[in-house]
Structure 1
Amino acid sequence: MPTQDPDALGTNVLTIALIGPDQQRRNGIAITLAGLQSGLTREFTAYPELDEVPRILHDGYDVIMVDLDSNPEYALDLIEAICGGGSPTVMVYSGRTDPELLVRCMRAGAREFLTQPFEANTIAEAMVRASVRKPVVKPAKKSIGKLFVFLGAKGGSGVTTLACNFAVSLATETGQNSLLIDLHLPLGDAALDLGITAQYSTVNALQNAARLDSNFLSKLLTKHDSGLSVLAAPGKFAQSQTTHDDVDKLLAVARQDFDYVVVDAGTRLDLADSSLFDQATIIYLITQVSIPELRNSNRLVSEFFTKTSTKLEIVLNRYMPRSLGVDEDHITKALTRPATWQIPNDYATARRTQNTATPLSLEDTPIARVIKQMARTAAGLPPAAEKKKKFGLF
């Protein structure tokens, strides 16, 4: 998908959820919306379950458009649930005009009733009315979100894999608003690891730092199936001349809107001059048990983390205690402290999930269990209950 200029979004851009099991009617609406350039649209190809409505509302859509004809009675229940739980403008679209259903839709809370053929002018006018109803400012959060930074002692340490899976675990284990920011520029791979295609990137955010606010940032994000929001690195190599002030602005805006912000910093030590490390709740230094990486880790801890030592947690990735060649005492001495986390080595599982863009943390494997525990500990949650093995199974 080609990258669009975020200036085209405008200040009153609407985020739209288009819900419709009938592909022909849904496509008719989607094509008209694309022609109007009235907002960013996400299509749902089936009616969501009613218990999924809170999650949809949590995504903050300005407009939710619901197909009435595929199942009118269920669609009415869905409209009522949406209107009762949030403040988006609900529009109903149908292939026929039925005065009785029109009245029932309005009673359920729908503000617009659109019928085929879907005229561009009619939909444009409905979107203008929705834009007028849109809140100008989002309610302020009571406190800023926690910031978790993943940094590698050396390239290839597995920073992106751990950052992505940690972020997914945060979103799924806590159910709270979580954001992953890929600052491993210009070649970050978070989107690739998560199997998502991002229309906008971290570069768009940093290059527009002067105008960056909650509304603008929300238009740049891509949603993962886990509920995690992602600000990806650009899909193509992009030259970006940004300042540490730009990074600070991005982090400040992100923490206003999200309970948890996870940053994949790769091996970017230049970010030490920004507020990234100082403001971090936890800094995860990712290393492996090899002489070059332990040496790098020692130098990083001594140079950058003497003042923030209480925030620093060292993660030994691809850990194989029986074939290290270096005992734990020497590891602790090299790191100047014991490692907080040990991620077991399971190259086959890690490679398989990368190739299929399936987060490790969504499976039940030794690696997933450690990452899930990292996320739960960071969020202040108790340890997850271990699943008991069934008799005779190993």
Structure 2
Amino acid sequence: MISTYSKDPDALTNKVLSVALIGAEDHRRNAVAKLIAAQASVTREFSSYPELDDVPRLLEADYDVIIVELDSNSEHALDLVENICGNSSVTVMVYSAQSDSEMLVRCMRAGAREFLVEPIAMSTMAEALVRASVRRPAVQPAKKTAGKLHVFIGAKGGSGVTTIASNFAVSLARESSQSTLLIDLNLPLGDAALDLGIQAQYSTANALQNINRLDFHFLSKLLIKHSSGLFVLAAPDKYTQVEESNEAVRKLLSIARQNFDYVVVDAGSRFGATGKALFEDGSTVYLITQVGVSELRNSNRLISELLKSSGAKLEIVINRYTSRSLGIDEESIAKALTMQPQWKIPSDYPAARSAQNTATPLALKDSPISRVILQMSRTACGLPANAEKKKRFNLFG
């Protein structure tokens, strides 16, 4: 932490700032550090540019000022400035050996507050720090806790992941009365938007194909809002092959969790490299399965070889459940799964078919299926599983 001061008696000298200094060239970075040291001291120095995927971790330190050297890699530096400014209120400054008016404009558009031209005068640095001190609120707001991540994944294709995930998200948005986002990662053929009766202009593909420029401002343009209040990042309407990486998925989820209280993911049956980003510490993974030999076998392997070794909380959901499914009793089901299932969603073909035909979410109507999903969503947001009896399931309520 550093205290900034100026010889100007009218300056705000009692502010306390934290400063990060980023510069690839040691001698230039050291010169800037000495200028700051004339006022105070640098909290942390970085001898290389952070990758854009590292920005969320950089921002966790809650720096008041981040100063970035521009010249070593100006395009990456600009992307870094834009990413930082798009995801925080930190004051960003840049320094350069070139007085380039075009570059100055680009830096300002990216969000930089100060463009410092070397050699930098001591008074120039002092004034810039004072301006940063003025921008800093007298009382720092409490740091926002990352939103809770709920991932729905199927033991086998056709398990009903999309139906459960999309209706859970609708119910969670309504019951919690907090900001909720549904991300359809069931690529390339996700159809959560179809289940919800909405048509989106943009999709998950747009986010993952523009990962270097992805911030919340960009992400917000890709979302569509359902009448329930749920925000949705839909899968592409047309078949789109998306080359995605674990880092890209992790960045998308990180930005989403920074800006929504709840993030729900329809992951289909994703168990490749990109699946690792879904099973983070603190997330809840709902493994959707059915009572069948192949489904239970897949579930057993996934639980023992993948999900139990992750930092995620695991909940088993048996879909289309009947009390005598294929002659397999509950004791055999629990033995096959190596754990008791937390949720059993009853088989109700007429209600499910009606919801699909009318494009009206099950969560907005009363049915045996919707009652269990309601209990799941209320438990997820810390409410009693069984709500008081009152009129609900009103589309416009």
Class of the TM-score when normalised by the shorter of the 2 chains: 0.5 to 0.7
Q: Distance in 2 between matches of 1:269 and 1:367?
A: 27
Q: Distance in 2 between matches of 1:230 and 1:271?
A: 24
2:240 to 238, 241, 249: 238
1:161 aligns to what?
A: 163
Residue deviations 1:56-90, cap 9 Å, x none? xxxxxxxxxxxxxxxxxxxxxxxxxxxxxxxxxxx
Change (3 A) 1:250 1:272: closer
1:268 aligns to what?
A: 270
Q: What displacement does 1:324 show?
A: 3.8
1:128 aligns to what?
A: none
Q: Does the CA contact (< 8 Å) of 1:245 and 1:274 recur in 2?
A: no
Q: Distance in 2 between matches of 1:280 and 1:201?
A: 26
Q: Distance in 2 between matches of 1:370 and 1:218?
A: 31
1:299 aligns to what?
A: 301
Change (3 A) 1:214 1:335: same
After the TM superposition, which residues 371-386 of structure 1 pair with which residues of structure 2 at under 5 Å, given as runs?
371-385=373-387
Q: What displacement does 1:275 show?
A: 2.0
After the TM superposition, which residues 32-111 of structure 1 pair with which residues of structure 2 at under 5 Å, given as runs?
none
Report whether the alignment pairs 1:177 with 2:179.
Answer: yes
1:213 aligns to what?
A: 215
Report whether the alignment pairs 1:198 with 2:197.
Answer: no
Q: Distance in 2 between matches of 1:310 and 1:204?
A: 27
1:247 aligns to what?
A: 249
Q: What displacement does 1:274 show?
A: 3.2
Code of the residue aligned with 2:256 in structure 1: it is A
Change (3 A) 1:168 1:328: same
Q: Does the CA contact (< 8 Å) of 1:157 and 1:287 recur in 2?
A: yes
Q: Does the CA contact (< 8 Å) of 1:285 and 1:314 recur in 2?
A: yes
- Give the TM-score normalised by structure 1: 0.61
Code of the residue aligned with 1:380 in structure 2: it is G
Code of the residue aligned with 2:185 in structure 1: it is L
Report whether the alignment pairs 1:364 with 2:366.
Answer: yes
Q: Distance in 1 between matches of 2:256 and 2:227?
A: 20
Secondary structure at the residue paired with 1:253?
helix
Q: Percent identity?
A: 66
Change (3 A) 1:161 1:251: same
Q: Does the CA contact (< 8 Å) of 1:149 and 1:280 recur in 2?
A: no
Structure 1 residues not aligned, in runs of 5+: 1-138, 390-394
Code of the residue aligned with 1:195 in structure 2: it is G
Q: Distance in 2 between matches of 1:183 and 1:292?
A: 24
Q: Does the CA contact (< 8 Å) of 1:141 and 1:257 recur in 2?
A: no
Secondary structure at the residue paired with 2:366?
coil
1:349 aligns to what?
A: 351
Report whether the alignment pairs 1:314 with 2:316.
Answer: yes
Q: Does the CA contact (< 8 Å) of 1:247 and 1:274 recur in 2?
A: no
Q: Does the CA contact (< 8 Å) of 2:209 and 2:242 recur in 1?
A: yes
Q: Distance in 2 between matches of 1:238 and 1:309?
A: 31
Secondary structure at the residue paired with 1:321?
coil
Secondary structure at the residue paired with 2:327?
coil
Secondary structure at the residue paired with 1:318?
strand
Q: What displacement does 1:321 show?
A: 0.5
Q: Distance in 1 between matches of 2:363 and 2:294?
A: 28
Code of the residue aligned with 1:199 in structure 2: it is Q
Please give the root-mean-square deviation of Cα atoms over the aligned residues, in Å.
Answer: 1.9
Secondary structure at the residue paired with 1:275?
helix
Code of the residue aligned with 2:257 in structure 1: it is R
Q: Does the CA contact (< 8 Å) of 2:180 and 2:263 recur in 1?
A: yes
Code of the residue aligned with 2:150 in structure 1: it is F
Code of the residue aligned with 1:229 in structure 2: it is F
Q: What displacement does 1:322 show?
A: 3.3
Change (3 A) 1:376 1:271: farther
Code of the residue aligned with 2:177 in structure 1: it is G
Q: What displacement does 1:271 show?
A: 4.8
Q: Does the CA contact (< 8 Å) of 1:140 and 1:256 recur in 2?
A: no
Code of the residue aligned with 2:187 in structure 1: it is L
Tell which structure's C-alpha radius of gyration is larger: 2
Code of the residue aligned with 1:294 in structure 2: it is L
Change (3 A) 1:258 1:272: same
Moved over 6 A (4+): none
Q: Distance in 2 between matches of 1:329 and 1:210?
A: 49
1:288 aligns to what?
A: 290
Q: Distance in 2 between matches of 1:374 and 1:349?
A: 18
Residue deviations 1:122-175, cap 9 Å, x none? xxxxxxxxxxxxxxxxx9961110000000000000000000000000101111
Q: Does the CA contact (< 8 Å) of 2:279 and 2:312 recur in 1?
A: no
Q: Distance in 2 between matches of 1:163 and 1:193?
A: 10
Q: Distance in 2 between matches of 1:342 and 1:211?
A: 41
Q: Distance in 2 between matches of 1:227 and 1:141?
A: 25
Q: What displacement does 1:180 show?
A: 0.2
Q: Distance in 1 between matches of 2:161 and 2:358?
A: 18
Q: Distance in 1 between matches of 2:273 and 2:259?
A: 22
Code of the residue aligned with 2:255 in structure 1: it is V
Report whether the alignment pairs 1:338 with 2:340.
Answer: yes
Change (3 A) 1:388 1:208: closer
Code of the residue aligned with 1:383 in structure 2: it is A
Q: Does the CA contact (< 8 Å) of 1:148 and 1:280 recur in 2?
A: no
Number of equivalenced pairs: 251
Q: What displacement does 1:276 show?
A: 1.2
Q: Does the CA contact (< 8 Å) of 1:184 and 1:264 recur in 2?
A: yes
Q: What displacement does 1:281 show?
A: 2.1
Mean CA deviation greater in 320-329 or 172-181: 320-329
Structure 2 residues not aligned, in runs of 5+: 1-140, 392-397
